[in-house]
């Protein structure tokens, strides 16, 4: 049985669906009881509901589990404590594989959510558990939050310079990589080629936001321009929408980093793991456009 934490989130649902489709037995850890039904519909064999910050709950959730796929909620202040508790509980029951959903370049100290993942990775090294660390780049799917706006206004807005170059990855490729890594233990009789490995999961070269807008234009068949919004204007909007102080400050640091240095990586590792080329941003947008057309029919 594979325990997926954060199973009702953006990443969790993609990983859960992919593992279940491949016949793997998944126990989904979700936060709210309203999320049980969706997790079951995606193929979870078992669902546990509770707070990752509660160590008693985590210890109970670990019962009957052989592998863990740990996904911490996005930009979460308690990320390090949660990571420590989950690693400790997994070590206590002696699981055969701990896969940690980290991030590309956790070494970047000025971005607190990256640095906390770095410290969780360190705890994993110290735990003695058989582990694999996955470090995904920025998801292509993040653009979907503003999809309607892009389609309606022809503007793709970002709170950093449009010249900033960023690598992306299709979350579906990340989920398939997760399935490959988790499956290996079962194929190899409790041994895995992926024990002790850290893989950067990058789908594209670093692209400027103008290049991103050009691809959106081509696939949508109408003009889309990239536009930078000032960070204080972005901050005003998200604070009004209820985003927490830690999240806002952390994301401001992240956007500042993107503007100064970009955020790029290399797709060779993911392509090797998937045994095929990674999904391009063009192919991703084409898929989204086709899915939307089907929904409208």
Q: What is the closest distance, in whole angstroms, from the C-beta atom of residue 82 to ligand NAP in the complex?
A: 7
Q: What is the DSSP string of 180-203?
A: HHHHHHHHTTS--TTTTEEEEE--
Between residue 112 and residue 171, which ones bind ligand NAP under the rule CB under 6 A?
Answer: 113, 136, 138-139, 142
Q: Name which of 96 and 256 has its Cβ closer to ligand NAP.
A: 256
Look-up of token digits 């192919």? 283
Between residue 66 and residue 85, which ones bind ligand NAP under the rule CB under 6 A?
Answer: 71-74
- Distance CA(233)–CA(169), nearest Å, equals 28
Note whether 284 and 216 are within 8 A (CB): no
Of the candidate spans 10-18, 58-66, 246-254, 289-297, the one that interacts with ligand NAP by CB under 6 A turns out to be 10-18
Contact flags string 18-57 toward ligand NAP, x per CB under 6 A:
-------------xx------------------xxx----
What are the residues whose beta carbons fall under 8 Å from the beta carbon of 58, sequence distance 6 or more? 52, 85, 86, 89
Q: Is the dihedral of CA 246, 247, 249, 254 positive or negative?
A: positive
Q: Name which of 10 and 96 has its Cβ closer to ligand NAP.
A: 10
Note whether 113 and 247 are within 8 A (CB): no
Q: What is the closest distance, in whole angstroms, from the C-beta atom of residue 117 to ligand NAP in the complex?
A: 7
- Distance CA(87)–CA(99), nearest Å, equals 10
- The CA distances from residue 89 to 63, 93, 219, in Å, are 9, 7, 47
Of the candidate spans 1-9, 191-199, 222-230, 252-260, the one that interacts with ligand NAP by CB under 6 A turns out to be 1-9
Pick from 2, 4, 6, 173 the residue near ligand NAP by CB under 6 A: 6
Binding site for ligand NAP (CB under 6 A): 6, 8-12, 31-32, 51-53, 71-74, 101, 103, 113, 136, 138-139, 142
């Amino acid at each position: 049985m594979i325990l997926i934490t954060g199973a009702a989130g953006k990443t969790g649902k993609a990983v859960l669906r992919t593992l279940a489709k491949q016949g793997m037995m998944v126990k989904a850890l979700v936060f709210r009881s309203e999320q049980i039904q969706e997790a079951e519909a995606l193929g979870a064999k078992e669902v546990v509901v509770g707070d990752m910050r509660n160590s008693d709950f985590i210890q109970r959730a670990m019962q009957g589990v052989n592998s863990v796929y740990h996904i911490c909620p996005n930009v979460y202040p308690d990320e390090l404590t949660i990571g420590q508790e989950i690693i400790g509980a997994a070590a206590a029951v002696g699981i055969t594989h701990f896969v940690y959903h980290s991030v590309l370049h956790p070494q970047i100290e000025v971005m607190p959510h990256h640095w906390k993942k770095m410290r969780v990775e360190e705890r994993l090294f110290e735990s003695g558990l058989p582990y694999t660390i996955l470090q995904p780049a920025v998801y292509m799917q993040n653009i979907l939050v503003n999809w309607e706006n892009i389609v309606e206004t022809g503007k793709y807005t970002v709170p950093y310079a449009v010249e900033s170059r960023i690598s992306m990855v299709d979350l579906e490729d990340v989920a398939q990589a997760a399935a490959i890594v988790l499956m290996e233990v079962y194929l190899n009789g409790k041994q895995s080629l992926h024990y002790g490995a850290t893989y950067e999961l990058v789908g594209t070269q670093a692209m400027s936001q103008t290049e991103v807008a050009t691809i959106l234009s081509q696939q949508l068949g109408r003009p889309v321009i990239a536009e930078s919004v000032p960070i204080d204007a972005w901050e005003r909007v998200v604070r009004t929408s209820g985003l927490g102080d830690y999240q806002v400050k952390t994301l401001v640091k992240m956007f500042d980093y993107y503007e100064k240095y970009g955020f790029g990586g290399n797709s060779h590792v993911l392509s090797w793991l998937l045994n095929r080329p990674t999904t391009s941003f063009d192919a991703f947008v084409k898929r989204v456009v086709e899915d939307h057309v089907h929904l409208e029919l």
